[in-house]
Structure 1
Amino acid sequence: MLEILGARQKELLRLLLKNKSGMTADELSEGLHITRNAARQHLAALETDRLVEKGATRPSGGRPEQLYRLTDKGRELFPRHYSWFAELLIESIKATAGEEGLRDRLREMGEQVANQLRNQNPELATPEEKVQKLSEIMEQLGYNASHDIHAGADPTIEADNCIFHHLATHNPDVCQFDLALMSAFTERAVDHQECMAKNGNVCRFRLYEKGK
């Protein structure tokens, strides 16, 4: 998203990144060499996008000065190297535990997350409710997921975006995390019918009764 912001807004965000405790509208206008009103307009737009928020106030000779700071979402606009670090962790586990040990660990992690999510949603009773809720959770996580539930057919979940795509392309075993999470959350077996990490157009999962 950073690339679609205007030049002034990018500069404003960079100033706030350097000044973690926050800056006033006057300080931002001075740092950007723009008027105070222009600075406030940029702040209002960035607040609407939830990239900037009001922080603490700072005592002054008169009225306390309002400080503005980056939100977590705003900080995430700047480069992060999570996938690189995740690859290091994956390779480290593989080196010490072997490939099967890595798969076991990923499955354990998926089941742990599923149990946490199920505890947060104790009202879910039927398989259909669990599949629908899982699809909603995946959508919130960025999978761009949708579900298909029809009477007499096994439900499916389809995702257009793999949030681990780069990692899974180099380490396909990463998919074991998703599969274990989905199975433990829905209490159903999972058939991974199509996978983007294996050149599929989407990730498609069929969730069917265990032992079927």
Structure 2
Amino acid sequence: MADHIGSRQRQLLELLLESKDGLCIDEMARALNISRNAVQQHISVLELEGYLQAGDLHKTAGRPVRRYVLTEAGINSFPKQYAWFSMLMLGDLKKEIGSEAFQRYMSKLGDNLSQSYKYRFTGKPADERREELLKIMDELGFKTGGKIDSGNNNPATIKAYNCIFHDLAQKHNEICQFDIALMASLLEKDVELAECMAKGSGACCFKITNK
């Protein structure tokens, strides 16, 4: 769960997680043994941060009361095991089809993803295509610093200072073929992974050469 959420607010979110239809202020106050005003203050903060929202009015014997429910952000603030599940799934896939086929599969995934970005490269010269690739990589979280190293007749080089699937790549180096295929398809150039963070380098270094 998000670290900045206070202990009482965490308890309130846990109550709502267990009550899919939502709870009203009085119900939350009784469950937590705190005042209605305290609940309202916590709700105001959590609603402002997008963790919960006001639901429908609920009919009672008296006046209708407003229930509060978790938003998707509220649900996602609880622990998830995406990395663990991905590791489990990829490990089983690699075992099932073999390392070479697994490498081809990752390359295919990268190439498939590139198709959704192709429109951003249409009609652009080589230098603008490289700049557009940097933007896309940064959007994906690779942290390139927005620059390409080139000169002295050396191949143009892109350095990525964040591996977006570092733990997975440490276990399965074939995953790096995803990056290579994505970049090669968008630039229509050959791409070589010269240095790799998953193998201990300080950055992933991609060299770009003509096909």
TM beyond 0.5 = yes
1:190 aligned counterpart, secondary structure: strand
Contact 1:16/1:22 (CA < 8 Å) preserved in 2? Answer: yes
Contact 2:20/2:69 (CA < 8 Å) preserved in 1? Answer: no
Corresponding residue number in structure 2 for 1:18: 18
Contact 2:161/2:202 (CA < 8 Å) preserved in 1? Answer: no
2:69 aligned counterpart, secondary structure: strand
Q: 1:143 to 1:18 in 2, by over 3 A?
A: farther
Corresponding residue number in structure 2 for 1:171: 172
Q: Which has the larger radius of gyration?
A: 2
1:42, distance to aligned residue in structure 2 (A): 2.2
Q: Gaps spanning 5+ residues in structure 2: where?
A: none
Q: Summarize the alignment of residues 138-153 of structure 1 with structure 2, pairs less than 5 Å apart.
A: 138-149=137-148
Coordinate RMSD, CA, aligned: 2.8
User: Could you tell me which amino acid in structure 2 is paired with residue 156 of structure 1?
Assistant: I
Aligned length: 206
% identity of equivalent residues: 31
Corresponding residue number in structure 2 for 1:105: 105
Q: 1:17 to 1:122 in 2, by over 3 A?
A: farther
Contact 1:106/1:176 (CA < 8 Å) preserved in 2? Answer: yes
User: Could you tell me which amino acid in structure 2 is paired with residue 112 of structure 1?
Assistant: N
1:30 aligned counterpart, secondary structure: helix
Contact 1:147/1:157 (CA < 8 Å) preserved in 2? Answer: no
Q: Name the TM-score, length of structure 1 as normaliser.
A: 0.79
Q: 1:145 to 1:70 in 2, by over 3 A?
A: farther
Contact 1:16/1:70 (CA < 8 Å) preserved in 2? Answer: no
CA distance in structure 1 between the partners assigned to 2:196 and 2:150 by the alignment: 25
Q: Summarize the alignment of residues 18-167 of structure 1 with structure 2, pairs less than 5 Å apart.
A: 18-50=18-50, 52-60=51-59, 61-63=62-64, 65-71=66-72, 73-119=73-119, 121=120, 125-149=124-148, 154=156, 156-160=158-162, 162-167=163-168
Q: 1:26 to 1:137 in 2, by over 3 A?
A: farther
Contact 2:58/2:67 (CA < 8 Å) preserved in 1? Answer: no
1:104, distance to aligned residue in structure 2 (A): 0.5
Q: Name the TM-score, length of structure 2 as normaliser.
A: 0.79
Contact 2:121/2:132 (CA < 8 Å) preserved in 1? Answer: no
CA distance in structure 2 between the partners assigned to 1:41 and 1:141 by the alignment: 36
